[in-house]
Amino acid sequence: MKTVETAAGTRRLHPLPLRIMHWLNAVAMIVMITSGWGIYNDSVIIGGLHFAHALRLGSWAAESLLWHLAGMWLLMINGFFYLLYGLVTGRFRERLFPIGIADLVQTVRDTLHLRIAHDDLTRYNAVQKLLYVVVVIAGISQVVTGMAIWKPVQFSGLVSLFGGFQGARLVHFLGMAVIVGFLVVHVALSLLVPRTLWAMLAGGPRIPRPVRRRRIAT
Ligand code: HEM
Do residues 69 and 38 make contact, with C-beta atoms less than 8 angstroms apart?
no
Do residues 100 and 119 make contact, with C-beta atoms less than 8 angstroms apart?
no
Between the CA of 202 and the centroid of ligand 1 the distance, in Å, is 13
- DSSP, res 49: -
DSSP string, 67-107: HHHHHHHHHHHHHHHHHHHHHHSSHIIIII----HHHHHHH
Between the CA of 91 and the centroid of ligand 1 the distance, in Å, is 14
Q: 16: number of CA atoms within 13 Å, CB side?
A: 0
Q: Which sign, positive or negative, has the C-alpha torsion 190, 83, 201, 15?
A: positive
Report whether residue 12 contacts ligand 1, using a CB cutoff of 6 Å. Answer: no
What does the pLDDT read at residue 218?
63
Do residues 35 and 71 make contact, with C-beta atoms less than 8 angstroms apart?
yes
Do residues 44 and 50 make contact, with C-beta atoms less than 8 angstroms apart?
yes
Which residue range(s) make up the domain with 59? 2-216
CATH number of the domain to which 66 belongs: 1.20.950.20
Residue nearest to atom 35 of ligand 1 (CA): 132
pLDDT tens for each residue of the chain, 218 residues long: 676 666 578 999 999 999 999 999 999 999 999 999 999 999 999 999 999 999 999 999 999 999 999 999 999 999 999 999 999 999 999 999 999 999 999 999 988 887 877 779 999 999 999 999 999 999 999 999 999 999 999 999 999 999 999 999 999 999 999 999 999 999 999 999 999 999 999 999 999 987 766 677 76
Report whether residue 199 contacts ligand 1, using a CB cutoff of 6 Å. Answer: yes
Instruction: Tally the domains of the chain.
Output: 1
Residue nearest to atom 23 of ligand 1 (CA): 26
In this structure, the strands spanning 2-6 and 10-12 are unpaired
Report whether residue 179 contacts ligand 1, using a CB cutoff of 6 Å. Answer: yes
Q: Using CA atoms, how far apart are residues 113 and 152, in angstroms rounded to an integer?
A: 48
0.85 cut: is pTM over it?
A: yes
